[in-house]
Structure 1
Amino acid sequence: MKYTRNLIAVIITSLVFAGCTSAQKAEDGWTNLFNGKDLSGWKPVAGTATFEVVDGVIQGTSVAGSPNTFLITEETYGDFILELDLKIEHLSSNSGVMARGQFDPAARDGKGLVFGYQIEADPSDRAWSGGVYDEARRGWLYPLDLNPAAKTAFKMGEFNHYRIEAIGNEIKTWVNGQEVAYVVDDMDKTGFIGLQVHGIRDAKDAGRKTSFKNVKIQTENLEPKAFNTDIFVVNNSLNSLTAYEKNNGWKLLFNGQNSDGWKGAYKENFPESGWSINDGILTIAATDGSESTNAGDIVTTEQFSAFDLAFEFRLTEGANSGVKYFVTLSEGNKGSAIGLEFQVLDDANHPDAKMGRDGNRTMASLYDLIKANKQGRFIKPVGEWNKGRVVVTPDNNVAHYLNGVKVVEYERGSKEFRDLVAISKYAKWDNFGEAKEGHILLQDHGDEVSFKNIKIKSLK
């Protein structure tokens, strides 16, 4: 058979195309963002750290006096699955991967500012690699105090494999196959991928290397990878739960619409005034600042033993409130019902912060018993939402968290606990805080305070 030149060309083209199609299928839809040779498709912004390709690896080098520098993709992405390998060789070289990153070129007097979701690479003893940080905006969204089992995943001086899923309003992360973080948040729907060389504090650390390779992305026909372990979800959507949370036993204590599941403390029904529900927010109105003398506290109709309780609260200036647990309503006291209390307080402007002993009445403390060990940068200011969490395990270990960071830990019923009770305002109540089960309480202290996203999981 005779073949014309045109026919031969068509056959060759078809064979080449078929080969390419097979390779694409073999890669299951992955697109390489880094070609292994040069930085085509990328550009450095916001700092003066340098990036170059060395032996098929993107190598970032720290520079003295430079802020955080990012090598970002020229293209932006919405929903995607991203995988890459990342290596840190020195403790000073904190790094991270921007997912749906944002850039303001006019910020910092025209030097530019990168902000948005960053998946952490943390070589320090804190070990929050794979956690989710909101760069130059809200700060930590998912510190690894929320998933301590994942703190050992990252390996210093080795290439670590990162997997990042940003699908819809969910961000999930893995480091070396370990499930790390799960965040539900809708602030950014699209943005670039970015590789960070962190600014350094000490000029002697200039020249340290951070390396990246095998950077690839999927943007079509995405198949999310299921988490097989039960980890805490930071869910920033209003009064809702993911299917994953529901399957792991979480339920809402406040549905955002009405007072179902709540009643007044020492009352049969929910207070007729004082407490209001608007736009999914539960608020106690300001009165005269006195304790539980107006609308009064509210409690769950259900009682709980071992549990994981999460909630968000928003203070007004000088406000005081609290979230109490193991409330039995059996003491018959005046004022607020008795129970262990996660303190909700404007530390700067309410006098209670300076009372008690050694700060044990400040925000997130176990009220009048144990001071919260918190840093100022993990506290949201008045008018913004703070996240509280109380975990009580079946063996009576209790932990308080503030914005994802553990700030209090103790054991109910231990000698240390009872010694603290004996020198507190609770000394007059026998076996204070040791009830087998109790209600959850939100306190009316005469100040305007709001609550949302109240959820609980019973622990066995």
Structure 2
Amino acid sequence: MKSRKLSPVFVLLMVLTLGAAHAQKGWISLFDGKSLDGWKVGDNASTFSIEDGAIKVAGPKAHLYYMGPVSNHEFKNFEFKARVKTTKGSNSGIYFHTLYQEKGWPLHGFEVQINNTHGDYIKTGSLYEVVDVREVYVKDDEWFTEHIIVRGNHVIIKINDIVVVDYTQPENPLRVTEERKTRVIKPGTFAIQGHDPKSVVYLKDIQVKLLK
């Protein structure tokens, strides 16, 4: 039987396809792009909706918690990625190591800030009230990647592959305020913040990779 010679273009496409598959190895989607299955919100649930394959955050204060089956919604060491787009003057955030609450600002875990042009001086990528970033790395109305890596007591936050926070929790971590008194690294879930009715933010391609 005569063997076929594969064209260089076909071989290149195969290599690129296999490379992309390898790059995604270990990443697990937390959002299907069509529904909020696996996520739970208490008060003001209408703040969260689906628009063009993304979670749209627009409405009064509310928090959308991941309560799905991945890792039984308890994460300790992980990488987390989401594509994010802000609109002018908007404020939001991604919490990790948090616990579900029906209402109020989350008392547990850490917030990774989403804010490019809101009046709050603590900007996108900040580990809120722990390591505050004042420089703005991305623009409103453009998609960017927020990447959180937690291993042990070490937290790295990247915006579009730029490291903006590199934090190691000290042996005796500081409690920041009475309202937010449990900002310490320990297992928990993720949450998306709806900050206020004037803030409109979008998130998609929400993924996690479990680390040892």
Gaps of 5+ in 1: 1-24, 30-217, 228-241, 354-360
1:402 aligned partner: 159
Aligned length: 198
Match of 1:308, as an amino acid? E
Tell whether 2:66 aligns with 1:300: yes
Q: What is the match of residue 276 of structure 1? A: 49
The separation in 2 between residues aligned to 1:428 and 1:341, in whole angstroms, is 11
- Which residue identity lines up with residue 185 of structure 2 in the other structure? E
Alpha-carbon distance change, 370 to 432 in structure 1, aligned in 2, over 3 angstroms: same
- The verdict on how the C-alpha distance between 1:303 and 1:428 changes in structure 2, with shifts beyond 3 A counting, is closer
Q: Is residue 149 of structure 2 the alignment partner of residue 371 of structure 1?
A: no
Whether 1:438 and 2:196 are equivalent positions in the alignment is: no
- 8 Å CA contact retained: 1:307, 1:458: yes
Q: Which has the higher contact order (CA 8 A, sep 6+)?
A: 2
Contact 2:90–2:200 (8 Å) recurs in 1: yes
Q: Secondary structure at the match of 1:224?
A: helix
Identity over aligned residues, as a percent?
27
Q: In structure 2, the residue corresponding to 1:351 is in which secondary structure?
A: coil
Question: 1:382 aligns to what?
Answer: 140
Q: Secondary structure at the match of 2:120?
A: helix
**In the alignment, residue 310 of structure 1 is paired with which amino acid?**
K
Q: CA deviation at 1:368?
A: 1.1
Greater Rg, structure 1 or structure 2?
1
2:70 maps to which residue? none
SS in structure 2 of the partner of residue 352 of structure 1: coil
The answer as to whether partners of 2:106 and 2:180 remain within 8 angstroms in 1 is: no
Tell me the TM-score normalised to structure 1 length. Answer: 0.39
2:87 to 316, 322, 336: 316
Does 1:337 find its partner at 2:106? yes
What is the deviation of 1:253?
Answer: 0.9
1:244 aligns with 2:9: no
- Write the letter of the residue equivalent to 1:219: V
Amino acid paired to 1:277: I
**What is the CA–CA distance in structure 1 between the aligned matches of 2:11 and 2:110, rounded to whole Å?**
49
- The residue aligned with 2:39 is 262
Residues in 1 aligned to 2:54 and 2:180: alpha-carbon distance in whole angstroms? 36
Q: Deviations over 1:425-447 (max 9, x none)?
A: 36862x53232x11101001112
CA displacement 1:267-302 (0-9 Å, x = unmatched): 7xx93x221102201101145xxxx2xxx1100001
Letter in 1 for 2:120: D
Look up the equivalent residue of 2:195 and give its one-letter code.
H
Give unpaired runs (5+ residues) of structure 2.
Answer: 68-72
Deviation, 1:386, is 1.9
Does the Cα contact within 8 Å between 1:426 and 1:432 map onto a contact in 2? no
Q: Alpha-carbon deviations, 1:351-376, whole Å to 9, x = none? A: 211xxxxxxx22111101112375x5
Q: Post-superposition shift, 1:327?
A: 0.4
